[in-house]
Structure 1
Amino acid sequence: MKITVDVDCTPEEARTFLGLPDVKPMQDAMLQEIQSRMMQNLQAMEPEALYRTWLPASVQGFEQMQKFFWSQLNRSAGGGSTSDK
């Protein structure tokens, strides 16, 4: 024997019938918070802001790496000498 029951109701009606909590207010609050954070972060994604943020650090890092490589090259070429040219 097979019994089929079709229930035609909205998700809200099903949630109420099953005794589940209504999370719509919490979802709306979280969505508003996410939206405000995204809008704040979009301002930091402007090309000028990215240029100012990334370029100085990368240039300094490149210069430090270059100095390190040159110092290691001078040491190995000079037989352990640490003189800078």
Structure 2
Amino acid sequence: MKINVDIDCTPEEARAFFGLPDVAPMQAAVMKEMQDRVVAAMRGTDAETLLKTWMPGGAAGLEQMQKMFWNAFGATGGSSKEGGK
């Protein structure tokens, strides 16, 4: 024998029926805090701030890093021309 019981109720009604607490106010507070933190973190992501954070020397530090990369790649890569081909 198989018996099916369908109960049509909202999550809030089911939570109240089983005696579970209403966590909607806590969820709203947590989401507000998360939103505030994300917005605050996004304020620090403009290009100028990121460049200052990553490259303390600013443009001069970027140029030094580019030279270092080109020197490293030039030393290991050799010439790009292949014997006159």
Show CA shifts across 1:41-82 (max 9, x none).
00111111001111017x4xx89xx9xxxxxxxxxxxxxxxx
Number of residue pairs the alignment of both structures matches: 61
Partner of 2:41: 41
Letter aligned with residue 30 of structure 1: V
Partner of 2:55: 55
Q: Percent of counterpart pairs with the same letter?
A: 51
Letter aligned with residue 54 of structure 2: W
Provide structure 1 residue ranges, at least 5 long, that are not aligned to the other structure.
67-85
Alignment of 1:1-85 (within 5 A): 1-56=1-56, 59=61
Q: How many Å separate the matches in 1 of 2:31 and 2:3?
A: 42
Runs of 4+ in 1 over 4 A off after TM superposition: none
Q: How many Å separate the matches in 2 of 1:54 and 1:25?
A: 40
Q: TM-score scaled to structure 2, two decimals?
A: 0.65
Tell which has more relative contact order, 1 or 2 (C-alpha 8 A, sep 6+): 1
Q: Displacement of 1:2 after TM fit?
A: 1.2
Q: Displacement of 1:21 after TM fit?
A: 0.8
Q: RMSD value over aligned CA atoms?
A: 1.9
Q: How many Å separate the matches in 2 of 1:43 and 1:3?
A: 58
Q: How many Å separate the matches in 2 of 1:39 and 1:9?
A: 37
Q: Displacement of 1:3 after TM fit?
A: 1.1
Letter aligned with residue 7 of structure 1: I
